[in-house]
Every structure is written in C-alpha cells, then in structure tokens.
Amino acid sequence: MRQVFYLILLLAISWCTCLSSCQENGKASPKKKATQNKATNNATATYDNTLQTLGAGYYRGVITAGTYKVNFEVDIFKNRKNRLVGAYFSDDQQAFSWPIITVRVDSNILQFDLPTDVRPMHFFGTLENDTIKGKTWVIGDERQYARFQLWKYPKPKYKEFYTWEEVKVENGEVTIAGTLRRPANTDAPCPAIVFMPTEGEDRNDHAYFADYFAKQGFVTFHYDKRGTGRSTGDWRKVNHETLATDDLKVIEMVMGVNIVDPERVGVFAKGLGSARLPLVMHKNEEIAFGVGVSTPGYSLLETEFQFKQKVIKDNISDPKEVVDAFAFLRMQYDYAISGKNWDELKKLADASRNASWYSMIQLPNDPNHWVFDMIRKQLDFNSIEYWKQIRQPILLIQGQYDDYIQPEAFDEISKALAEADNQMFLKSVIARADHAMWNVYDDLPLFMVGQA
C-alpha cells in the first residue's frame, strides 16, 4: 500500500510542477534525470560472509512479528567522542537516518536503543556465524517483541544520487536548521520541495521523503521546527502565523539556491503542519504547488476535540460517563482559550478524579501550565479562510480510515478551493490507510511489535 502512496505522490507532484510551470510561462517542465532507486542500489550489494566481530559498520536486516515483515538498515559508527552511535533506515517504515543511541558491544552481543515519537525500542542481538539474530521490544515491556536478523553490507553511496549540506536560516532572533539535498551530476534548473514540520517535530519526521524525492531529481529541504533539533526558539510559545514566518524564510532561501528553478518550488506538509499550508501559500504566491497529507479542514481546536471524543467513546461504555467526559474536556478548552473559570474547572476536576475517563483528559494542577498556552496559540486556528484564496495547484491526500481528520474536512477544503475558483485541485483517498498513511489491516505500524 505504501508503494501505491509513493507513486500517487510522485505522479501528482510531477503534475503540480508541470501545471505551475505551464501556468507561468507556457512551457512544460524539463524531463527529470533518471536515477537509480534505493532498491536497485541494494540489489548490487553482496553479503560480507567474513564478519568476525561486531561494531562499526553498515547492516541490513529484517524484523518479523507473526505474519508481518519489515526490512530495515542500520549504520553504526563512532561519533566525535569516540562513542558508538548510529542511524536507522527503513523504506517500509518511512524512516531515514533515525538516530540510534546507547550502542553496546560485548563479545558477540550487539545492543542499541531507538528513540522515537511513538515507542522507544530496544534491540538485542547475538552473532551466529555471519548473522546477528535477536529480539526488539518496547523499552520497559519485554512481554511483546519482534524478532530480527542483521547482515553486514557495504555502505550505500548516496552521493551517486545527491549531495547534502547543513543550512541555517535566520528569522529574527530564531535560527532554523535543516538539510539541503541537491541532485548529483546536474547543473540544470531543478524543481524543489520544502517539507514543513508538523507539531513538535524535528527534521527526522520528513527525512525519508526528502531523501526519496532528491533521488527523483528534486532539490529538497527539511528542517527542525523552532525549539526542536538544532533550531532555536520554542514552537509552543508562538502561534501559527509566527511559525509561518519560519516557513516563508526557508522557502525564500530554497528559491535562491543556484540550481533551483524558482518557478517550480512547492511545499509539503502533513497533519497539524498542513494547517499552515494555505497560510504560507497565501503569503508567498510564487510557491508553485502545495501537498497536504491528512489535512484538517476545521479549526484545529474542533479537530482535536472531535478526535478526543472518539477516543473517549472507544474506551468508555457508560453513556452518562461519556457525556460527563465531553463536558469536562470542552470546559478545559474553554479555559485555555479564555483564561476564565479556573476555580470551577478545578472543583470539577477534583470531583472527577475517580471517574473512568479522568486519566485520559486529566487537568494540569497549574492554571498557567504551558499546555493551556499551547492550546490557545496552536489550536485556536482555522485555515479555511486561507484556502479560499489559493489558486496554485494543490494535492490533498487522506487515508480512508483516518481517525483524526474527519472526511468532512476534505469537503470543507474542496468548497473553499471552489470558492477561490481553483481549477488545479487534486484529491486522493488512500484505501485502508489511517492518519499516518499506514495500512490498518496489513502493515506493521512504525516500531510496533507483535505478541510473544
């Protein structure tokens, strides 16, 4: 299913770049240079059957859990402090260069941890002949695990496809740090894609797609949201309009890269990050196209409220308790927006601590807790008015079983684009996909493990 998603994405982005280029100058975009994909590069590698010791090196392997199977790669190396660290790669899991920490080698045993936004994983493997075999599990829960095997391989030569560099962009007192990739062996003007970060995410969130499209001939840039990774500032203390100024500074930088065709620069965003998509495109009408994945169509506050309502309904059977939980949740949001009625809210929280739903939506003890400030600045935002002003080519992708963004959101954005008389709007629903574009029936979700 993911391969279908990638194909739709690539074809649609090519459609967007062609449309925007024709719209500007009546000329079709040039053909992209043909490049080998990662799978082709992998096929030329051979096993290193002379593996005698563990440690620094490049490994390829497979994780299995029941009927599920995930291919992955691990690059283990020494950092500047001479400590073993690493990076994790997986086409199946849309992971590119996820950091690996606490690498430990003892005789014929290899262990390492993989911190993620979903579940931190621990890998424990033992060398048997030329194969490392072991188990991986959520840290703190060894009862559920998946099995894995690793083999040592020559390290792929990514420079055959593109070069990359670290770039910093200044926006007032904030510095935005990211990675710029340029297709190798070409001086021809290239299309470009800027990957806008979503809620609280650093550049790793889009590293896979930045790598993927760089191999297809695009210049790509993905970056740490302010306050994450190597970017300064704090995203939780500013609103979407301020975050959009970071995006716009980055886009301006990319448009000025020497091999970039400034008339074919697009933006890609997903989830809550895609709420800023029409705002950014409205502020810079030179942006050639926009791609939104799992894009909210209502206010973010209402989107979040609807999602938490669903979570409560799925976990609470008593209808009265469901109603009580909804009322308490709405009261929390009202306080976050208005700053009023804290005493009444606190009194209700104290009376509800033994309710079955309270642990899911419990109230912070501090009336000035940062989460209230974040709700007011991050969730009190509705992008629909900006969609009504967007005429650039737009691709919107949504999962059939998205449990966060309701199908009606798609309809609201469609109506807004129609009001803008946008004739270059394409929407695609991926069958059986959830909010994160995982197949709800067949895929092994990101870092999920199976029963022992």
* Lowest pLDDT segment from 219-228, 249-258, 385-394, 405-414: 405-414
The DSSP string of 173-224 is TEEEEEEEEEESS--S-EEEEEE---TT--GGGGHHHHHHHHTTT-EEEEEP
* CB contact set of 284 (below 8 Å; sequence gap of 6+): 248, 251, 252
What percent of the chain clears pLDDT 90, i.e. is strictly above it?
55
Query: Does pLDDT of 350 surpass 90?
Result: yes
Query: Does pLDDT of 46 surpass 50?
Result: no
Query: Does pLDDT of 362 surpass 60?
Result: yes
Query: Does pLDDT of 386 surpass 90?
Result: yes
Query: Does pLDDT of 6 surpass 60?
Result: no
Which residues on neighbouring strands pair with residue 425, listed in sequence order? 394
Which residues on neighbouring strands pair with residue 447, listed in sequence order? none
pLDDT tens-digit map of 77-102 = 888 888 889 999 988 877 888 889 88
Across the range 212-222, mean pLDDT stands at: 94
Query: Does pLDDT of 451 surpass 60?
Result: no
Across the range 179-200, mean pLDDT stands at: 91
The answer to whether 22 and 404 are in contact (CB under 8 A) is no
Across the range 173-186, mean pLDDT stands at: 94
Position 13 confidence tier, pLDDT thresholds 50, 70, 90: low
Query: Does pLDDT of 369 surpass 60?
Result: yes
Position 290 confidence tier, pLDDT thresholds 50, 70, 90: very high
Q: Cα–Cα distance between 261 and 276 in angstroms, integer?
A: 23
Which of 240, 159, 213, 237 lies closest to 16, judged by CA?
213
Across the range 242-254, mean pLDDT stands at: 97
